């Protein structure tokens, strides 16, 4: 076993864990244990939070850093992330089955870009602005860091989704206690090494591997000022209830069941790579994918054929192989869940045109063939619930109004796409879809713009200037006018 860690990174120090638990990490494509790390206990959590609070209040430490000092640190951080990118990409890919090409772009390039973006953003932002008051005086409006952030991250994009939180939080001057998913903890130990090499000041970042119990303890901890969560809607609801009771600010990036609306003039064959990315990226283990493909009645068979060809020709294999387009599911449990939905699709009468099984050439690893279901009703279970695997439902519609109605008839509202040769028409349709973000002939969360969901897909936004604002509190100081 190559990746064995015995200590935890708590507020800038490597320490023996207080508890005795360990977490084994299993490679998705071989089912072999490739690493082991300590499981953090609630005693470790107490230490992390105490150090994070102390760092916020330390005028000679993190609490006293200027904007320029933080921005310079983020720039150096970005450079190291880029330098060590391949190590991150390989580790993520081995743990969760992400094809290596996706891992290089999403799990290394994106975090480095976010650090640079937020460094530039804080350099350009006044910490305090002065406004002419309505009653003759002046008001100083000050942006302060929100405090100690608890960041809870899922396994599907473990680095990127962590940096959605870490980059703006550090930019704002917060401290962060990170709880990664047990399936993907090895990359966070690499991250801890990077933080150490940067000389991250004491208390600023802690990394606490653990499962949902530790997640719950973090959400409820009295020393936490804000929770940033990405994960399932079920967990998000519990976290929202707790944060509601505690009046604790929270952002929730949750599940999705987005629509890919194919308009009658769409040219799918010349957009096939974008279509694949927007519907099956990372083996379908991506929250924003358009897994309900809405096809016009007049072109229904053609759309089903195109998707069937796309899925059946996708190269399934070792995620570390650059030719691989579909790797394994992240865990045995998760494959079971995906296969269970395929069973439900068949039982409910949908017509499976390709896939449905395990690839014969892959006896090891949690592989599932990319699967297309045609003749699916929007009320079928596989159209309502998030499968989180390479499984698409193709749903027929009559006119564009009906397509928009079907797209909006979902508990979720996270991503989505419109496919057309007429960008203006695509934009018009995109505006009518109830969702947090949507693309025309393309989909990739752009870091300059807010990302998040409506309905059961979540509360709040990450990325963009809006993402930075989540980690700041605005305070107002009133000064009298001369005559007052």
Residue 152 binds to ligand NAD (criterion: CB under 6 A): yes
Region near ligand NAD per CB under 6 A, out of 189-197, 230-238, 290-298, 347-355 = 230-238
Region near ligand NAD per CB under 6 A, out of 24-32, 251-259, 403-411, 427-435 = 251-259
Containing H/E element for 36?
A: strand 33-38
Within 8 A by CB and 6+ apart from 300, the residues are 394, 396
Is residue 291 helix, strand or coil? coil
Please state the closest distance from residue 338 (CB atom) to ligand NAD, in A.
Answer: 12
Region near ligand NAD per CB under 6 A, out of 64-72, 165-173, 227-235, 349-357 = 227-235
In the list 154, 203, 416, 450, the residue contacting ligand NAD (rule: CB under 6 A) is: 154
Residue 255 binds to ligand NAD (criterion: CB under 6 A): yes
Tokens of 289: 């994918």
Region near ligand NAD per CB under 6 A, out of 233-241, 290-298, 401-409, 416-424 = 233-241
Please state the closest distance from residue 228 (CB atom) to ligand NAD, in A.
Answer: 11
Q: What are the backbone angles phi and psi of residue 20, rounded to the nearest 5°? A: -105, -5
Determine how β-strand 259-262 pairs with β-strand 417-419.
parallel
Within 8 A by CB and 6+ apart from 414, the residues are 254, 255, 256, 258, 287, 288, 435, 436, 437, 452, 453, 454, 457, 458
How big is the site for ligand NAD, counted in residues (CB under 6 A)? Answer: 29
Residue 388 binds to ligand NAD (criterion: CB under 6 A): yes
Nearer CB in complex with ligand NAD: 237/405: 237
Helices (H) and strands (E) in the chain, counts: 16, 21
Residue 437 binds to ligand NAD (criterion: CB under 6 A): no
Judge whether 243 counts as a catalytic residue: no
User: Does the CA dihedral 152-157-162-164 come out positive or negative?
Assistant: negative
Which residues in 235-356 belong to E strands, given as ranges? 250-253, 259-262, 292-296, 351-354
Nearest CA among 206, 144, 152 for reference residue 181: 152
Please state the closest distance from residue 349 (CB atom) to ligand NAD, in A.
Answer: 26
User: Within 162-181, which residues bind ligand NAD (CB under 6 A)?
Assistant: 179, 181
Residue 414 binds to ligand NAD (criterion: CB under 6 A): yes
**Euclidean distance between CA atoms 107 and 101, whole angstroms:** 10
- Measure Cα distances from 181 to 157, 158, 195, 307 in Å: 10, 8, 19, 32
Containing H/E element for 69?
A: helix 67-83
Residue in 27, 39, 183, 287 annotated catalytic: 287
Residue 73 binds to ligand NAD (criterion: CB under 6 A): no
Residue 125 binds to ligand NAD (criterion: CB under 6 A): no
In the list 231, 249, 355, 370, the residue contacting ligand NAD (rule: CB under 6 A) is: 231
Residue nearest ligand NAD, CB atom distance: 215
Positions marked active-site:
253, 287
Q: Which residues would be at the binding site for ligand NAD (CB under 6 A)?
A: 152-156, 161, 179, 181, 211-212, 215-216, 219, 230-232, 235, 238-239, 253-256, 287, 386, 388, 414, 453, 458
């Amino acid at each position: 076993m190559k990746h064995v860690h015995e200590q935890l990174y708590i507020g800038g120090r490597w320490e023996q864990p207080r508890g005795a638990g360990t977490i084994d990490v299993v490679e998705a494509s071989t089912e072999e244990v490739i690493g082991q790390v300590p499981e953090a206990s609630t005693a470790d959590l107490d230490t992390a939070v105490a150090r994070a609070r102390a760092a916020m209040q330390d005028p000679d430490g993190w609490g006293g850093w200027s904007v320029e000092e933080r921005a310079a640190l983020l720039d150096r951080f970005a450079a190291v992330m880029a330098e060590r990118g391949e190590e991150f990409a390989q580790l993520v890919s081995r743990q969760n089955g992400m094809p290596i090409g996706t891992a290089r772009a999403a799990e290394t390039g994106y975090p480095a870009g976010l650090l640079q973006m937020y460094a530039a953003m804080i350099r350009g932002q006044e910490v305090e602005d002065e406004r002419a008051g309505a009653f003759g005086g002046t008001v100083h409006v000050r942006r302060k860091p929100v405090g100690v952030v608890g960041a809870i991250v899922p396994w599907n994009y473990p680095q990127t989704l962590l940096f959605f939180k870490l980059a703006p939080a550090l930019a704002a001057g917060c401290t962060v206690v990170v709880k990664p998913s047990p399936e993907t903890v090895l990359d966070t130990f690499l991250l801890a090494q990077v933080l150490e090499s940067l000389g991250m000041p004491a208390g600023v970042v802690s990394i606490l591997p653990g499962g949902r119990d530790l997640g719950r303890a973090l959400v409820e901890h009295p020393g936490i000022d804000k929770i940033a969560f990405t994960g399932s809607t079920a967990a998000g609801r519990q976290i929202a209830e707790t944060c509601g009771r505690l009046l604790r600010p929270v952002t929730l990036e949750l599940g999705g069941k987005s629509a890919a609306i194919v308009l009658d003039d769409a040219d799918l064959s010349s957009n096939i790579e974008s279509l694949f990315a927007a519907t099956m990226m990372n083996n379908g283990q991506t929250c924003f994918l358009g897994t309900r493909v809405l096809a016009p009645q007049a072109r229904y068979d053609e759309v089903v054929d195109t998707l069937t060809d796309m899925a059946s020709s996708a190269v399934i294999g070792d995620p570390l192989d650059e030719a691989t387009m579909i790797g394994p599911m992240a865990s045995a449990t998760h494959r079971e869940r995906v296969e269970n939905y395929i069973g439900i699709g068949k039982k409910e009468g949908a017509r499976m045109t390709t896939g449905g099984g395990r690839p014969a050439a892959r006896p090891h690893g949690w592989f599932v063939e990319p699967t297309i279901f045609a003749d699916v009703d929007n009320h079928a279970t596989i159209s309502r619930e998030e499968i989180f695997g390479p499984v698409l439902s193709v749903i027929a519609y009559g006119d564009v109004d009906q397509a928009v109605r079907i797209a909006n008839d979902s508990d979720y509202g996270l991503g989505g796409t419109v496919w057309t040769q007429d960008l203006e028409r695509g934009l018009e349709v995109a505006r009518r879809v109830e969702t947090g973000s949507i693309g025309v002939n393309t989909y990739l969360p752009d870091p300059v713009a807010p990302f998040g969901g409506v309905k059961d897909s979540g509360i709040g936004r990450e990325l963009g200037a809006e993402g930075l604002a989540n980690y700041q509190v605005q305070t107002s100081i009133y000064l009298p006018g001369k005559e007052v």
